[in-house]
Amino acid sequence: MGIPKEKNKFKAIIIGATSGIGRELAKLLSNSGYIIGATGRRKYLLSTLKKEVKTDIIVRYMDISKTNEAVIILDQLINELDGLDLLIINAGLNEMNPNLELDVELNIISVNVVGFTTIATYAINYFIKQKKGHLVGISSIAALRGSDKAPAYPASKAYLSNYLQGLRKKVMKLDMPITVTDIKPGYIKTSMSEGKKSFWMTTVENACSQIVKSILKKQSYAYITKKWRIIAWIMRYTPDWIYNRL
């Protein structure tokens, strides 16, 4: 059963909402008046999220690497919400792979590239059909340069950012009120960053507060937190002969 129709309420779907950024965004957007659809691979965490969000929310199990199933679930979820205004793709894998094991690389690619592309193309085609909407992809500061210890992860995030740019260019040429936002977080205290320390690491709550502000402003790009723009500039313009020694 879907949520009762409310014409004046915005509807948002968060792909990858079981923990960290996705979970906090579900709470913040709910507090901002959105009706929420939340997906993830950990059913128990989805059920606890449903209890924590006090307003209307529908949760669904989804593994975006299983693309055919993911599209069916997304379509059903949109119907249950009775529409879609905002879709956030937060689902992603990050695994260190210093031994360059092929299975690890392909697993990351199946989620961060193939799964992401499946959801992003569905969302943009849906928004083009209804002539409005907002797609947000959660990339990473890591997208700016390659990594010897985890080659697939930054490469997949670079793909995400470039793909979003292509979609943004596409909808701009169509002259429709469709926004495509690329969010590039730096270090955030989540399960993916467990054990890492950085003086620029911020909390999930602070990061997501800034992400929501960027979404509401309909920005094309945003570094989270804002000071990571400095690091982004340094990463872009550091010569390879220096970067490769780090």
Domain range annotation of the chain: 11-243
The pLDDT score that the predictor gives to residue 192 is 55
Is the pLDDT confidence value at 64 over 60? yes
Give the pLDDT score at 239.
Answer: 80
Predicted confidence at residue 187, as pLDDT, reads 87
Q: Is the pLDDT of residue 130 over 50?
A: yes
Confidence band for 151, pLDDT divided at 50, 70 and 90: very high
The predicted model gives 211-221 an average pLDDT of 96
Q: Given CATH 3.40.50.720, say whether it is the number of domain 11-243.
A: yes
Percent of the chain with pLDDT over 70: 92
What pLDDT score does 228 carry? 85
DSSP assignment string, the chain = --PPP-TTS-EEEEES-SSHHHHHHHHHHHHTT-EEEEEES-HHHHHHHHHH--S-EEEEE--TTSHHHHHHHHHHHHHHHT--SEEEE--------TT--HHHHHHHHIIIIIIHHHHHHHHHHHHHHHT-EEEEEE--GGGGS--SSSSHHHHHHHHHHHHHHHHHHHHHHHT-SEEEEEEEE--B-SGGGTT---TT-B-HHHHHHHHHHHHHTT-SEEEESTTHHHHHHHHHHS-HHHHTT-
Q: What rounded mean pLDDT belongs to the chain?
A: 91
Model-wide pTM > 0.95? no
How do residues 169-191 score in pLDDT, each as one tens digit? 999 999 999 999 999 999 888 65
